Structure 1
Amino acid sequence: MATVAASQVKLGDKIAQDVLTPLGSVLFHKGKVIMQREQEILHAFMVAQVTIESPIDKKDGEEAGADKSQDGAKDAAASTKSALVEQYDLTVVLLKKVFKQMASGGVAFPILEVRNQLECLLQYSQDYKLLTFASHNVPTEDYLYHKSVMSALCCYMMAQWTGLPKKDWVQSALAGLLHDIGNAKVDSNILNKPTKLTTAEVEEMKRHTVLGYQLLKNVAGLNEGVKLAVLQHHERYDGSGYPLGIGSEKIHPYAKFVAISDIFNAMTMKRAYRKASSPYLVLEQLQQDSFGKLDAAYVRTFIEKATQFHNGTIVRLNDDRVGEIVFSDRNHPTRPWVNVGGTIVNLANERQYYIEEVLSKSGSQ
């Protein structure tokens, strides 16, 4: 081990002792690998010294004279590739393959393969944190697959949060995973277009709901709720949605889950034509949309659960200050108290400020 000035910590260095915030919370646990984001957080919290593993502490098997930055990158990849992320990546790969199969046609929907992989992913759903999990640098052509896998995780949790029977949990996740399957039949040039769609292109894209329902309507192993979610996830509480323009009483609960998770994940993901939105701002947008557009009770539950354990999260405010969430007012769950260099910023009172970006969960690996 070696104790060095925080300014001397390099990319790929591994922390050997817990790093604490000025208030005594764990900023990074032992074993955390330093990447650029971690360097920024150390600087923001004015951490003076960090104890890191010295070269002699590293795993046996490293070749003498190997490039340290490469070793650091390998260590980082091994450290950050959690079981959740591994299964997430495998699910994305499978879903991409399924989309291509459905686009080509003439192939039965591989429901057993899809369900088996999804269940492998759901084993680690307890590690999925809505506010801090992010797929970085997703290629434009892979956007739908990542959004769908994250929606599967969201819908799985929402089924539990809203008290649905256990038999509905995996089916809800399938609804989230497959809600955009109809896009396999939509022109990829429209789906990946980086500029505003024409009226005709918008109408073509809207067809994905009906096309998806047609693809899945005869698939055994999917209950009717999954198929309705594929058809109805763009319907809205007040009847203003599509394709049928039905009201809340006719929208299946799975479809209501998908509507919420689809909006959340779409807005918090980076696109070619815009940066990712702050999850806190997106939650506020969902709150506004719950008046007439989305199921208000489900939105309230989603927001409460998403922000339930966010104390200790390191965030950047819209004025570029970095701080730590230290208290949550349950009446204003998207506007917690943030400790910025010893000064408490109450975002519920100081409305000109908001959380621009979630940097990391305090102590997360």
Structure 2
Amino acid sequence: MASVPIMDLKPGVKLVKSVYTPLGSLLFHKEKVLLPRDLEILQAFLVENVEVGHVGEKITQSKDKNSSNEPLAQDQPPFNRTSFFVEEYDKLFNLIKSAYPSILAVGIPIYEIRNQLESLIQYIKDYSVISFLPRLLNDHDYMYHNAILCSLSSYKLAEWSGLPKKDWMQVAFAGLFHDIGNVRVDPSILLKPERLTMDEIKEMREHTKMGHQLLKSVAGINEGVRLAALQHHEKVDGTGYPLGIDSNKIHMYSKIVGVVDIFHAMTLNKAYRKGQSPYLVLEQILSESFGKLDPRLVQTFIKKVTEFNNGVMVRLSNDKIGEIVFSNHNEPTRPMVSVANDIVNLGQQRNLYIVEIIKKDN
């Protein structure tokens, strides 16, 4: 073990002690093998010395990910989805899409949906909130994809927020059924590309009450799920709808679904507009949610979905493509990006932002 000045480092050495920025943010984990771009990052953060072992020894890269020197969460890009997760997602999508048109006549097939949702949740570790895109993506299928994605993201946010494990599946149901009342809304309003009239807005907002009513007699879900359908558009300052209640009266499930619903509503393609960049949406949620959404949930959501994204390829607003190499926990939506051997610090270059995550093939 030796403390080596940054200028004397060579690629291929292994850290024996974690490295932090001068402000205390974790830069590299212990046992990371330093690559050429990592040396540039250390210099960019003005780190002077690091503790390394086996200086100068080349490290043979293993094809077995489990033998990597990096922590597993760092090794696996968020978009590295297993085929099992994708298959179970598609099954739930097809089930929801086939069931929704007949819900008013025959009710919700809750047992079939529960079984398939549980099958999907088994593989939730393979789901990345910020980068997953469904295979069967069609503009007119927005309602079904939004339901499933809100279900998965609500499950994760419930876990991240410290809710008891017994609540996680119920929160997933809350995300899945939060917009169920839309089956009673005129499709011409749901898919209308122009601005809605006041009467159409009034009808659209009725989906919250309709959803609560539809879920009243459904077995296997708790009152929090029903309240999420009713309250997911309520705001903590009392300016939401349909009841205009404030934070003290909004159920925790509703607050969770309220956060993830905004994220997926803005990032998914709709029939009348293209989805926005996940990173840009997170910035908007952070800046515009003050007094509207639960601040603790917003901060937790943004922190968690931007973690472990090193290695993710992105397109910047100047149309250049680069790789995320470091995420600052103080500004998680503005990571450092390696572009053509240059390090672009989005925290400093405020005129640039991430407009797209470049999805890799499985």
Q: Shorter chain as normaliser: what TM range?
A: 0.7 to 0.9
C-alpha displacement of 1:109: 2.5
What's the counterpart of residue 350 of structure 1? 349
What's the counterpart of residue 39 of structure 1? none
Structure-2 separation of matches of 1:204 and 1:302: 31
C-alpha displacement of 1:285: 1.2
**What is the RMSD computed on CA atoms of the aligned residues?**
1.8
List per-residue Cα deviations over 1:157-196 (Å, max 9, x = no partner).
0111011111101000000001111001111111111222
What's the counterpart of residue 56 of structure 1? none
Stretches of structure 1 lacking an aligned partner (at least 5 in a row): 1-20, 25-78
Listed as ranges, the matches of 1:135-146 within 5 Å are: 135=134, 138-146=137-145
Structure-2 separation of matches of 1:81 and 1:326: 24
List per-residue Cα deviations over 1:311-356 (Å, max 9, x = no partner).
1110000010000011111100000000101111110110000001
Structure-1 separation of matches of 2:178 and 2:190: 15
Stretches of structure 2 lacking an aligned partner (at least 5 in a row): 1-34, 39-79
What's the counterpart of residue 12 of structure 2? none
8 A contact 1:268–1:279 mirrored in 2: yes
Structure-2 separation of matches of 1:279 and 1:334: 9
What's the counterpart of residue 63 of structure 1? none
SS at the partner of 1:97? helix
Deviates more, 1:80-89 or 1:314-323: 80-89
Structure-2 separation of matches of 1:132 and 1:295: 24
Listed as ranges, the matches of 1:204-283 within 5 Å are: 204-283=203-282
SS at the partner of 1:212? helix
Q: What TM-score does the superposition give when structure 1 sets the normalisation length?
A: 0.75
What's the counterpart of residue 157 of structure 1? 156
C-alpha displacement of 1:142: 1.1
8 A contact 1:315–1:323 mirrored in 2: yes
Structure-2 separation of matches of 1:101 and 1:175: 20
Structure-2 separation of matches of 1:360 and 1:176: 25
SS at the partner of 1:333? strand
8 A contact 1:179–1:229 mirrored in 2: yes
What's the counterpart of residue 56 of structure 2? none
Structure-1 separation of matches of 2:245 and 2:155: 24
Structure-2 separation of matches of 1:238 and 1:80: 38
2:236 partner letter:
Y
Listed as ranges, the matches of 1:1-365 within 5 Å are: 23=37, 82-103=83-104, 105=105, 107-135=106-134, 138-360=137-359, 365=362
Structure-1 separation of matches of 2:359 and 2:137: 19
Structure-2 separation of matches of 1:98 and 1:291: 37
1:324 partner letter:
E
SS at the partner of 1:135? coil
Structure-2 separation of matches of 1:141 and 1:329: 37
Change (3 A) 1:199 1:136: farther
Structure-2 separation of matches of 1:317 and 1:167: 41
Structure-1 separation of matches of 2:302 and 2:242: 27
What's the counterpart of residue 63 of structure 2? none
List per-residue Cα deviations over 1:110-154 (Å, max 9, x = no partner).
211111111011011100011210136733331100011000000
Structure-1 separation of matches of 2:97 and 2:135: 17
C-alpha displacement of 1:22: 7.6
8 A contact 1:102–1:185 mirrored in 2: no
